Amino acid sequence: MYAKKKILLVAVALFSAAAVCADGQKVLSLSQARGKIGEAIANQSVMAETVKSLSPVDQVSFLAAVNAAIAKNPGSKEAKAALYLQCNATALKAAKESKGDIKALLSEVFATVEIYALCPISEYFGDKLFNRSADPSKTFSDESFQSIAKAAISAVAKRCASVDNASVRTTFCIAMFMRASGGTSEELLASLVGVLPASDREKASKEWLPSALGLGGKEKTYEPMLAESDSESQPNIDVVVMLTGMQEHDAVLSSLPNGATEGALNFHDQMSANQTPLEKGDDVAEPKPYQGQKF
């Protein structure tokens, strides 16, 4: 009896130790985090702390679950797009602070957010989070930026291959990095478009991206990509950003690895083997209606 009790106490102690990070922060299980989804969507402080309390693999699964919950949320396109923008930007910033896998999280953003909401995400991420000039302490040569962008887009393309409208989703990410580059280099554009399947490269380079970026005298609009994916029409991006009340985020471009690595590209395979983002029968908390909380 005494031996059994001693074994039990040791097991409890080991579990408690495993549930605390090296810096003393408690670690949540994915099931515990799922119970906080509604609160996290409504309160970005909770979103950030929840992401920081998860392992890198579970951060990706949690973000997928959050995006699935937002998809069920009532409201206008602009209100829902604001929720997507808030939560996904917060998740990336929190993952950077907790040494998460930014490439895997970015891939999950473009694979799981409803396509119409990728319009403000592509613009805000390109202008703020991944802009090569956002962090004055970091400088990126053209070659370095291209290597980082192509590796990230390759990971996004691999993740999006398992969902509908993969090329459209990946092209939204290409538009993000083109905007983040601070220019319209034809060499960069050709390199990034080369990640797409051959059957979609011409359409992306001659129709989708010139429209999304307003190149060649074209009106700046995402409608060609939205029409291709049979998605809802483009939300008012200015209204979306206004609804979030967002302040500046730390730049996260420097957290992306320079060049593709097998481990990063296989990250989603590891996640799937661990636990799918939303398994049938999961008890996921319903999100609260958008309250306009600020970061």
pLDDT at residue number 291: 36
Domain boundaries, the chain: 25-274
For the chain, which residues score pLDDT lower than 70?
Answer: 1-26, 184, 246-295
pLDDT tens-digit series, residues 198-254: 999 999 999 999 999 998 888 999 999 999 999 999 999 999 999 988 655 555 555
Closest by alpha carbon to 255, among 93, 37, 20? 93
Cα–Cα dist 193/205, whole Å? 7
Tell me if 128 sits within 8 A of 249, measured CB to CB.
yes
- Longest distance between any two alpha carbons in the chain, whole Å: 81
Cα–Cα dist 246/38, whole Å? 19
pLDDT at residue number 14: 40
Tell me if 53 sits within 8 A of 28, measured CB to CB.
yes
pLDDT at residue number 64: 98
User: Which amino acid belongs to residue 208?
Assistant: W
pLDDT at residue number 255: 57
User: Which amino acid belongs to residue 224?
Assistant: P
Tell me if 8 sits within 8 A of 25, measured CB to CB.
no
pLDDT at residue number 280: 34
Cα–Cα dist 112/211, whole Å? 23
